[in-house]
Amino acid sequence: MEILFLGTSSMVPTKERNQSSVFISYKDQGILIDCGEGTQRQFKLAGKSITKITKILISHWHGDHVLGLPGLLQSLAALGYSEKLMIYGPKGTKKRFDAMFEAFVFDKPLNFEIKEIGKGAFFENSDMELIVYQLDHGIESLGFRFEEKDKLRIDTKKAKKFGIPDGPLLGKIQENKSITYKGKKIKPEDIAYIVKGRTIGIISDSVPCKSCNQIAEDVDLLICEATYTSKLSDKAEEHKHMTAKDAGLIASQTNAKRLVLNHLSARYTSGQEIEEDARLVFDNSEVARDLMKIKL
């Protein structure tokens, strides 16, 4: 699993920071969270093809989170994107896409489906689940939680003691099914153990709220907006944004393992102030940089 930060600024981009976008690569899934202006160019700088995108999650419809969509969709169509692109966003997303297609000329077709989401699980397969939460940002804003499912892993030493050969019998054990081998019933717990799935929380633009804590609960990685330091807490409250210290408190309160601070105001050139502000309350904090990659 790889997390790629394509854009880490807030409303105003800087020389070092593009507008908001994060890309999660996991098995056959390529999940793009938000698509700020310039996102497709960031893909090129990262050496990754936009055709790897299978899903786009839109947190909300402020421009710094969606202005890259028209160009990205046109490029996908021009590249002959053959998959069905799934697009998820808050209520009103379908209407806004209709307006987008009225405003721009799309010469080539693109196979996509839009789903408006608001609360709870909205995608699930045998490997993972995606869950959406309502945030508090003045307009409808969504946060997300990526949950990998727990897996059974074979203890090879125990399997050898039973003499079970590699093949379909071990496959059944990994499916959590008992087997019979040489007249003896063998349960999954006899030769397998559980590997806990990895979790990622993504908190987009919001003030601290109950949903933020639900998103962050016990996650391996929390990606959280941190537009200001706590010195500008009044400004953060006025614009319904979070401070880095707010993000650190959420991570601390929810047993998150690691906090990556995102969506910085253009006034913070290095990000050091933001990181120090979060570390006052949660030591395992760091500031995201454009094109930074994290492997889980």
Contacts of 89 (CB under 8 A, 6+ apart): 57, 58, 61, 96, 114, 115, 116, 117, 142
- The residue among 94, 91, 148 whose CA lies nearest residue 123 is 148
Q: Are 17 and 8 in contact (CB under 8 A)?
A: yes
- The residue among 57, 47, 37, 69 whose CA lies nearest residue 2 is 47
15: how many CB neighbours lie within 10 A of its CB?
6
Q: Is 64 a catalytic residue?
A: yes
What does the H/E/C string look like for 82-107? CCCEEEEECCCHHHHHHHHHHHCCCC
Question: Three-class SS of residue 279?
Answer: helix
- The single residue of 34, 64, 205, 277 carrying the catalytic annotation is 64
- The residue among 212, 222, 293 whose CA lies nearest residue 258 is 222
Catalytically annotated residues: 64
